[in-house]
Chain A
Amino acid sequence: MVVEEGLKIELGKQGVIVTSLQELYNWGRRCSVWPMQFGLACCAIEMIATTMARYDMARFGAEIFRPSPRQADMMIISGTVTKKMAPQVVRLYNQMAEPKYVIAMGACAISGGPFKQGYNVLKGIDRYIPVDVHIPGCPPRPEALLQALMTLQKKIDGQPLTGEGRPRFLDAEAQGEFPVPEQGEHDLEPPSNPAVWPVPLTINK
């Protein structure tokens, strides 16, 4: 049954709430996205500022930073991921319970940023784990992190519970665990997870 938006509002004025299970379920999920409590670099300072009274991340139900991956719904990659740290980040992501989301915060988390050409810097966390929202900036302002959170909420809101495009945790066949890279003799092995990050097409000119 599809109820028109205008009718819903009118019914709401009369004290009647019309909704679907999917809407109710996603509303609940998107309004309590608990982030995991860890910071990697200077972006973490902005992330901390976002949680404080001035920017007040609590407005979005995302203020409860959990020190354990088991209790967290979202991972904010806030800063440069070094190759020494990358296996731990992937392992923490694997330890999070579904549904789980990732925000790559800042230039470093997206691509390595100003340290991209460093031998010790992972050139973007999306080489190993799927990222839902990327925030550009160096570091991004707290408003940008709030925008990312709102984008993530919209994404959660739009997820159907059945059929095509349903989230990973409702799909029995979807891959929920991602291989943790090994620290090899010269580099991380493998250097990227092709299932998550196919090497982008580049044109030979």
Chain B
Amino acid sequence: MPVGIPVEIGNRGQNLKTVEEIKTAIEAAVPCARVEIARNPGPSAQHSLLIGPESAIEVATFLQDDPELALDFLSNVTGVDWPDKEIAEKVKVTRQATKIINGVEQIVDETVEETRKRLEPGFLETVYHLYSMAKKHGPVVLRMRTANRTDRVELPSLTRVWRAAEFQEREIFDLYGIVFEGHPDLRRILMWDGFKDHPMRRDYVDPDDYEYEPTAHDEVLAKAHAHKTETGATPAPEGAEP
């Protein structure tokens, strides 16, 4: 590299459009595309584009082929698990109640505050980080969400657009259980083939091999203790080191 040319780390590039501009460009090029902006409130302000899975291939092809964006490099694909969320809301409800006023029964309206619980269904998400080697800019962050976490976990595979996605989508399939439709070789990559769980999901319960924990603390301590009571370990003989 020639001396004297300042290189800014994390430079988004001079010509990279903002997410709003990219959204407009996508909507102009792919009319049926469903694009939303997922804001990042953090100081990095790295906002991402939430795209509808039905037109993801077209959107991805556009992002790659568009001469201004030219996002030819897929740097990273990862998954996120959003579990079902229970939201408690306080609602004011007016209802009729019978009350005894001055010895006479009367029907009176009264306002009561009620706590209602609403279950917000969870989903699985993939995140694609795109850069452009040609234009030296990036990243542009794409997200896709599944319908739920249980039976409708299909998302289109972007391997046919960026070949680099192949192994990383396999990893997401393995660890999160997202099924990528159109993937050339969707098999588990880290765990063995007969494995049934998806370890990176929030509700994954890992195998109980905490029989021996010399320096257990926090969660692991609780697990180790549970193990002791389960197996009913006998106390050590007298004179043994505790």
A residues sitting closer than 8 Å to B (CB atoms) are 83-84, 111, 117, 119-120, 123, 183-187, 191-192, 199-205
What are 5 A-B residue pairs whose CB atoms fall within 8 Å in the complex?
A84-B191, A119-B207, A186-B207, A202-B211, A204-B233
Indicate if the CB atoms of B195 and A186 lie closer than 8 Å.
Answer: yes
Indicate if the CB atoms of B190 and A202 lie closer than 8 Å.
Answer: no
Which residues on the A side are within 8 Å of B236 (C-beta)?
201, 203
Indicate if the CB atoms of A183 and B199 lie closer than 8 Å.
Answer: no
Indicate if the CB atoms of A123 and B242 lie closer than 8 Å.
Answer: no
C-alpha spacing A184/B211, complex, angstroms? 19
**Quick one: which of B183-200 are within 8 Å of A by CB?**
190-192, 194-197, 199
* Least distance between B240 CB and chain A CB atoms (Å): 8
* Least distance between B22 CB and chain A CB atoms (Å): 38
Indicate if the CB atoms of B195 and A123 lie closer than 8 Å.
Answer: no
Indicate if the CB atoms of B231 and A199 lie closer than 8 Å.
Answer: yes
User: Looking at the complex, which one of B196, B229, B234, B242 makes contact with A185 (CB distance below 8 Å)?
Assistant: B196
Indicate if the CB atoms of B209 and A204 lie closer than 8 Å.
Answer: no
C-alpha spacing A109/B224, complex, angstroms? 20
* Least distance between A45 CB and chain B CB atoms (Å): 22
* Least distance between B185 CB and chain A CB atoms (Å): 18
Which residues on the B side are within 8 Å of A192 (C-beta)?
209, 211
Indicate if the CB atoms of A183 and B212 lie closer than 8 Å.
Answer: no
* Least distance between A107 CB and chain B CB atoms (Å): 12
User: Looking at the complex, which one of B207, B212, B240 makes contact with A187 (CB distance below 8 Å)?
Assistant: B207
Interface residues on B, range: 20 to 34
Secondary structure dominating the interface of B: loop
Indicate if the CB atoms of A123 and B212 lie closer than 8 Å.
Answer: yes
B202 at the interface (CB under 8 A from A): no
| Known pairs A117-B220, A192-B209 / 18 extra A-B pairs, C-beta < 8 Å | A119-B199, A120-B191, A120-B199, A123-B209, A183-B192, A184-B194, A186-B196, A199-B211, A199-B212, A199-B231, A200-B212, A201-B234, A201-B236, A202-B211, A203-B235, A204-B229, A204-B235, A205-B242
Q: For chains A and B in complex, what number of residue pairs have CB atoms within 8 angstroms?
A: 59
Contact flags (1/0) for B202-231 with A, using CB distance below 8 Å? 001011010110100000100010001101
C-alpha spacing A139/B242, complex, angstroms? 29
Which residues on the A side are within 8 Å of B199 (C-beta)?
119-120
- B233's closest neighbor in chain A, by CB? A202
Which residues on the A side are within 8 Å of B235 (C-beta)?
201, 203-204
Secondary structure dominating the interface of A: loop
Which residues on the B side are within 8 Å of A185 (C-beta)?
194-197
**Quick one: which of B92-151 are within 8 Å of A by CB?**
none
C-alpha spacing A81/B242, complex, angstroms? 29
C-alpha spacing A120/B206, complex, angstroms? 9
Indicate if the CB atoms of A119 and B206 lie closer than 8 Å.
Answer: yes
C-alpha spacing A202/B223, complex, angstroms? 13
Indicate if the CB atoms of A183 and B195 lie closer than 8 Å.
Answer: yes
Which residues on the B side are within 8 Å of A201 (C-beta)?
233-236, 240
User: Looking at the complex, which one of A183, A187, A200, A205 makes contact with B209 (CB distance below 8 Å)?
Assistant: A187
User: Looking at the complex, which one of B190, B212, B224, B229 makes contact with A120 (CB distance below 8 Å)?
Assistant: B190
Smallest CB-CB A-B distances: 7 pairs = A187-B207, A119-B206, A185-B196, A183-B192, A199-B211, A200-B212, A119-B199
Which residues on the B side are within 8 Å of A117 (C-beta)?
220
Indicate if the CB atoms of A191 and B196 lie closer than 8 Å.
Answer: no
Which residues on the A side are within 8 Å of B240 (C-beta)?
201
Which residues on the A side are within 8 Å of B191 (C-beta)?
84, 120
- A84's closest neighbor in chain B, by CB? B192
C-alpha spacing A202/B211, complex, angstroms? 9
C-alpha spacing A185/B197, complex, angstroms? 8
Q: A202-B233, A203-B242, A204-B233 are in contact. Are A191 and B207 (CB under 8 A)?
A: yes
C-alpha spacing A199/B240, complex, angstroms? 16
Q: A186-B197, A199-B211 are in contact. Are A204 and B192 (CB under 8 A)?
A: no
Which residues on the A side are within 8 Å of B206 (C-beta)?
119
Which residues on the B side are within 8 Å of A202 (C-beta)?
211-212, 224, 228, 233
C-alpha spacing A123/B224, complex, angstroms? 14
